Amino acid sequence: MLASCSSGGAGAGASGASGSVVTCGTTRTAADVPVIITVVRGTVSCATAMRIENEYAEKLRNGQVAGNGGGAPVTVSGWTCQSYNTPDLLRTGNASQCHTGTAMIVAVLPVATPMAR
C-alpha cells in the first residue's frame, strides 16, 4: 500500500527554507484513488507522513469525519487533516493536506500520461 521515500530516505522530510518538496511514496484515498504523499513544509519523516495520511483515509472510510464527503477538518495523531474541495483539486491536483504548527504534508493526484491515439 505504500512505497519508500524517493528523496532523502525514510528518515527524511523537509521543505523548510530551501523550498524543496519531499516525495514519500504512494497510497490510496478513502475512495481508493491513488495519491502521492509529499512533505511541503517543515521536517517530517516519510514514515510519519505516510502513517498520518493512511490514518486520515481510514477515518474517512469509517465515516469518522463530518461534512459533505468527509470534508471537515479532523485531528489525526495531533495533525489537522482536511480534503480540498473539487474545484481546488481539479486546479492543483492536491487531494488533501495534513498540518501541524510547523509542517504540512499533501496528498497529490499523480499526473496522468495521455494515451496515443
For the chain, the domains span 16-108
Chain position carrying cell 489537522: 80
Distance from C-alpha of 111 to C-alpha of 117, rounded to nearest angstrom:
18
pLDDT for 15: 45
Degrees, nearest 5: CA angle 116-23-86: 65
Tell how far CA 106 is from the center of its chain: 3
Average pLDDT over residues 81-107: 93
Average pLDDT over residues 22-43: 95
| CB of 67 closer than 8 Å to CB of 84 | no
pLDDT for 53: 96
pTM here is 0.78
Residue 34 CA: distances (Å) to CA of 29, 37, 54, 107, 116: 6, 10, 12, 9, 22
Average pLDDT over residues 60-80: 83
Distance from C-alpha of 14 to C-alpha of 34, rounded to nearest angstrom:
23
Over the chain, what is the mean pLDDT? 82
Distance from C-alpha of 105 to C-alpha of 114, rounded to nearest angstrom:
27
pLDDT for 103: 97
Confidence of residue 64 (pLDDT cuts 50, 70, 90): confident
Confidence of residue 24 (pLDDT cuts 50, 70, 90): very high
Confidence of residue 92 (pLDDT cuts 50, 70, 90): very high
